[in-house]
Structure 1
Amino acid sequence: MFRYILQRGALALAVAFTVSLATFFLLNVATDPAYAIAGEDATPEMLAQIRETHGLDRPLASRYFDWLGGVLTGDFGESYYWNKPVAELVASRAPTTIALALSALSVTILISIPLGALAALKPNSWADRFALGVAVSAQAVPNFWLGLIMIILFAVTVPIFPVSGDDTWLHFVLPAFVLGASSVPAVMRLTRTGLIEVMDSDYIRTARSKGFRGMPLLTRHAMRNAILPVVSVLAVQLGQKFGGSVITESIFAINGLGRLALESILGSDIPTVQMLIFVFALVFVAMNLLADIMNAALDPRIRIG
């Protein structure tokens, strides 16, 4: 098991390094950092002075390794737009995004797994068609449209929840539902498929012969084996929600990392953008690694293979 974790961890670090390298070079080649600092009215003399002051006249490779060394020591650079350390900006906004991502994942679990179980119990029935209809609808509706509809229905027409902000838990209800709904189709279909396959197993037929039926059969016997692929998908979905909350946070005016990314892009704040992309990629890679470790712990065949 320890060897398996080392192998997967080394692969995760290689992916994170590749993402950081690609992000740094693409952002610094596509945009001139000196121009982003000075603004549209900058003269060539001002640009030359800024490049010299910030070390932007050095080769890209040396600047990348300086940046990477700073990241490893906790120095994420200085924001051009807010004139603050990037680490301070990320630390102040990260708890909000973490709370939103976990809330959205809870919504996904509470909707998709019961629907998948209901569909698996009676395949090709009205319950199965209803669950698949919910999944197709959730997949077809874009987040920005669903967010606006939720605001109109539950914040304007019937003022139950706040329209924007992140002061209380009520502010997270609508955005968590919007962000969580996008993951319902994948998790629901995977739960349904896994349970249908498991329900045809010999040990399930034995459990039926002992009198187990319906939800007791599902929860005590079938779910343990069917849940393995679902665990992987949920971990990946958590990583996606952490980095994919830009639209949702912007619609509901939530001051998290997603909104910080949008504001940094609009303000051409290269140090903040490249650090946020690296953080999002690192979280996504970490969630994939966690999913691999959990699956290996639950199923010895994976780590032996």
Structure 2
Amino acid sequence: MGIYLSKRAIWSGLSLFLLVVMVFFMARLTGSPADLYLPIDAPTSMREEFSRLHGFDQPVYVQFFDFLRGLVTLDFGQSLRQGRPALALVLEAMPTTLLLALWSITAALMIAIVTGALAAWRPNSVFDRIATLLSLIGASLPNFWIAIVGVLVFAVGLRLVPTSGTGSVSQWILPVAVLAIRPCGLLVQVARSSMISVLSSAYVKTARAKGARGRRIIFVHALRNAMLPVVTVAGDQAAGIINGAVIVETIFGFPGIGKLMIDSITYRDFAVIQAGVMVTAIAIFMLNVGIDIVYAVLDPRIRVN
């Protein structure tokens, strides 16, 4: 297991480095930050002084090597917009995004596992048909559309929840629901399909023959063996939730990494963009490692091999 995780770390580190390099050069294709931070009629001398103070007067390859030297010590530079270390800003915003993603994927998993297992217990029943229909609809809806409709209906129309903010539990309900709907729809389908396959296996038939009740068969005998495909898809969806938080945080005014990245791209705050991509990629790598560990816990054959 240790050798496997070490190999994963090496390949993930290489992918992370290539990603950061690509972001470095692509960010500079958007233009000079001086066009945003200085007046339109600013003289050339003022623009040159601004570029000199922030290192933009150097050739791109020189800026890149300076960036690599700072990357070794996790020094991404100062934020142009806020005048603070870029990494500090990202680390302040990241917990909000991770908490939002954690609540969303937890809610999606709990609902999907129970719904998919019950639907698989009686295939083609009324409950199964309704669950399948609703899950397909949920899996097909984009996050931004769900968020806008949710604000119009539940926040503006019915006034059940606030439109934005993070100060109270009620302000988290709508963002969590928006991010959980699509993963929940996908996971219901995966859980249902996996449970149908497991429920037809020999050991489940033996448990039925011995008089085990339906609830015990579903949640004790069958569910654990049906969880591997669910965990696989849940891991992909959790990474997608972190990425999808960019839209949801912008709509609901959440002070997370997504909103910070959008603001940084808008204001050409290169240091914050680079730090944000780095921290987000590391978080997704750690998530994948966690999924591998869960695999080993659920299926001892994976741990042995």
Normalising to structure 1: TM-score of the pair? 0.90
Residue matched to 1:246 = 246
Distance verdict in 2 for CA 1:9–1:303, change over 3 Å: farther
Matched, 1:277 2:238: no
Deviations 1:198-229 (A, max 9, x none): 11211111111111232210111111111112
Matched, 1:181 2:181: yes
Asked whether the equivalents of residues 79 and 272 of structure 2 are also in contact (C-alpha less than 8 Å), the reply is: yes
Which secondary structure state, in structure 2, belongs to the residue aligned with residue 244 of structure 1? helix
Residue matched to 2:121 = 121
Asked whether the equivalents of residues 120 and 128 of structure 2 are also in contact (C-alpha less than 8 Å), the reply is: yes
Alignment of 1:152-167 (within 5 A): 152-167=152-167
Distance verdict in 2 for CA 1:211–1:262, change over 3 Å: same
Residue matched to 2:73 = 73
Query: Aligned pair count?
Result: 305
Residue matched to 2:8 = 8
Residue matched to 2:264 = 264
| Structure 1 spans left out of the alignment, 5+ residues | none
- CA drift at 1:302: 3.5
CA distance, structure 1, for counterparts of residue 297 and residue 40 of structure 2: 55
Distance verdict in 2 for CA 1:235–1:72, change over 3 Å: farther
- CA drift at 1:167: 0.6
For 2:82, give the aligned amino acid.
W
For 2:172, give the aligned amino acid.
F
CA distance, structure 1, for counterparts of residue 72 and residue 243 of structure 2: 21
Asked whether the equivalents of residues 224 and 298 of structure 2 are also in contact (C-alpha less than 8 Å), the reply is: no
- CA drift at 1:37: 4.9
For 1:83, give the aligned amino acid.
G
Residue matched to 1:148 = 148
CA distance, structure 2, for counterparts of residue 156 and residue 29 of structure 1: 40
- CA drift at 1:196: 1.2
Distance verdict in 2 for CA 1:43–1:118, change over 3 Å: farther
CA distance, structure 1, for counterparts of residue 12 and residue 303 of structure 2: 16
Deviations 1:179-207 (A, max 9, x none): 11121122111111111111121111111
CA distance, structure 2, for counterparts of residue 234 and residue 298 of structure 1: 14
Distance verdict in 2 for CA 1:190–1:40, change over 3 Å: farther
Residue matched to 2:97 = 97
Matched, 1:87 2:122: no
- CA drift at 1:165: 0.5
CA distance, structure 2, for counterparts of residue 62 and residue 207 of structure 1: 69
CA distance, structure 2, for counterparts of residue 140 and residue 63 of structure 1: 43
- CA drift at 1:136: 1.4
- CA drift at 1:71: 3.6
CA distance, structure 1, for counterparts of residue 159 and residue 13 of structure 2: 47
- Sequence identity, in percent? 35
Asked whether the equivalents of residues 162 and 170 of structure 1 are also in contact (C-alpha less than 8 Å), the reply is: yes
Residue matched to 1:54 = 54
- CA drift at 1:76: 2.4
